[in-house]
């Protein structure tokens, strides 16, 4: 079996669910966009923190850079309250 078949790429909705869990549990839903900017400033090692957050949740195959890209895109495309 080829490697691509053994480990299929994450479905976009699966990534959305993982990011939603991170935002809810780690950033806080009420002012998540401002919290995201503060989080990245407060923790220069935020990629490691994201990796550790998902590791504690039992998701070891998470790419923290994908999570960061997704949240950055959400800040631009979904301004305002958490939806």
Count: domains in the chain: 1
Q: In this structure, are residues 69 and 47 in contact, taking their beta carbons and an 8 Å threshold?
A: no
Does residue 28 lie within any of the structural domains? yes
The answer to whether residue 82 is domain-embedded is no
Residue 67 lies in a domain: yes
Find the mean pLDDT for residues 33-58.
Answer: 94
Q: What CA dihedral angle connects 56, 62, 63 and 66, to 10 degrees? A: -110
51 within a domain of the structure (yes/no): yes
Domain with 51 in it? 20-77
Per-residue confidence band for 52, with pLDDT thresholds at 50, 70 and 90: very high
Q: Is residue 9 part of a domain?
A: no
80 or 59, greater pLDDT: 59
């Amino acid at each position: 079996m080829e490697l691509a078949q053994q480990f299929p790429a994450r479905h976009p909705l699966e990534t959305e669910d993982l990011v939603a869990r991170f935002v809810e549990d780690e950033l806080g839903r009420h002012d998540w966009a401002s919290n995201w900017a503060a989080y990245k400033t407060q923790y220069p090692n935020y990629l490691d923190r994201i990796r550790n957050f998902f590791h504690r949740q039992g998701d070891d195959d998470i790419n923290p850079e994908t999570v960061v890209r997704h949240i950055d895109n959400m800040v631009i495309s979904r301004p305002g309250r958490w939806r």
